Amino acid sequence: MPIRTILLFGGRSAEHEVSILSARSVANAAPKPSIEIVPVCIAKDGRFVSPERSARILNDNDKSDRGDDDYSMELWARDAGIDCVFPLIHGTDGEDGTLQGYLEILGLPYVGSGVTASAIGMDKGHMKHAFAAAKLPLVDFVQVQENDWRNERERIMRAVNNALRLPYFVKPANGGSSVGVTKVKSDDDLAAAIEKAFRFDEKALVERGIDAREIEVAVLGNDDPKASLPGEIIAAREFYDYEDKYVDDKTQLVIPAKLPKEKTDEFRRLAIAAFKAIGAAGYARVDFFLERGKNRLYVNEINTIPGFTNISMYPKLWEATELKYPRLIERLIELGIERSRTRASRQESAMTWFDEVKGIV
C-alpha cells in the first residue's frame, strides 16, 4: 500500500507563492508507487482548501486567495486514511511551530522538526542564542525590539555603532527567503532598514556584514543525522535576496562547493552540530559564511523547512551526495513516521507510569 501523504502548502506568510512552487516540485517528483500525494492548501486568508481544489491550485488552474467555507481539515482527516503530512509552508504559521502544534493536536505524523525546534529555528534571535550555547562560531549582531526602538532610538543606534562596523545586514528575526533584509552601507540608512524589518516582525537583527562566500549544507535524519556535501551560492545581486532567489533566476549554485577536504569536513560537522543545537528532526538546511582572506567560518542560520523548488539547494545538495530527489522525498516521509512512532511509544510509556503511580497511591 502506498503511504498516503498530505502535501500541505500555501499559508499566510510572505512566502506563500514560494510554498506553492515547493509543493508543485514535490508532487511531481514523489515516487508514485510508494507515495500517494493528497494536496491540501492553506489559502492566503488562513483557511483550508479542499483536496480537489488544492490540486487545481497546484496545477495553476485556481487561485489560493480564499479557503473553502464548507471544508473542515479536522473532520476530513479523521476518515481520510492519512499516514503522514509533508508541510511545505515556509515562514510564519508554517515553519515556526504553529502548524506543527496543530498537527500534534490532530495526531497526524508529519515531516520535519517539532514545535520547539521549529520555533527556535524560525526566530533568528533565539536561534543564535542556541548556537552560542553550543559554542558555534557566529557573526556579531545586535537584537532590536520594536518597542525599545520606538522609545530609545538614539541609544540603540549608538549600541549598534559601538558593537558593529559597517556594512550591516538588517533583517526581521522571524522570516525567510531574505524577505525584509537590507544591506546598510551608511549609518544614515540604518533607521530606514530597521523600519523595513519591522514591517515583517516585532524584532529585528542588525548583523556585521562580512566579505564572505555563502556556503550551504543539507542535513537529513532524526537522532543520527547526516550532512550533505556543501554547496556555494554565487549571487547575481549584491546579496542573495528574494528577487535573486525566485524572480531573476541568475544566481549560480556550485555543487559541490570548491573547498579543500578539511574545510568540507568542517562544514558538514558544524551543520550537524547546528541541527542538534536546536533539536531539529527530519531535515534542515544550514547556511554558513566563509570569510574571504581570513578563511574563517561562521554559522549564519538554519532553515527547518528549506525550499523544495526545482532551483532549491536542499534537493540539489543531496543529489550531489548520491541521494536522488524521489528517494529523498520518500526518506523524509519515512523519518516523519518514524519520529511519530517513537513519540507515541514514549507517551504510552508515560501514561503507563501514571497508572502505576495511581495504583500505588
C-alpha torsion sign, points 57, 61, 66, 70: negative
Q: What is the mean pLDDT of residues 222-249?
A: 75
Please list the residue range(s) of the chain that carry CATH number 3.30.470.20: 131-135+210-323
Residue 241 has pLDDT above 70, yes or no: no
- pLDDT tens digit sequence for 287-319: 999 999 999 999 999 999 998 887 789 999 999
Is 153 or 174 the better-scoring residue by pLDDT?
153
**Average of per-residue pLDDT values in the chain:** 92
pTM of the shown model: 0.89
Please list the residue range(s) of the chain that carry CATH number 3.40.50.20: 3-111
d(CA 274, CA 300): 10
- pLDDT tens digit sequence for 183-202: 999 999 999 999 999 998 99
Please list the residue range(s) of the chain that carry CATH number 3.30.1490.20: 140-208
- The CATH number of 131-135+210-323 is which of 3.30.470.20, 3.40.50.1980, 3.40.50.620, 3.40.47.10? 3.30.470.20
| DSSP-derived pairing of the beta strands 35-42 and 282-291 | unpaired
CATH number for the domain formed by residue range(s) 3-111: 3.40.50.20
What is the three-state SS of 188-207? HHHHHHHHHHCCCCCEEEEE
Residue 232 has pLDDT above 80, yes or no: yes
Was domain 140-208 assigned CATH 3.30.1490.20? yes
Which grid cell is 197?
Answer: 524589518
d(CA 113, CA 340): 11
Classify burial at 154, counting beta carbons within 10 Å of its beta carbon; exposed 0-12, middle 13-18, buried 19 or more.
exposed
d(CA 35, CA 331): 11
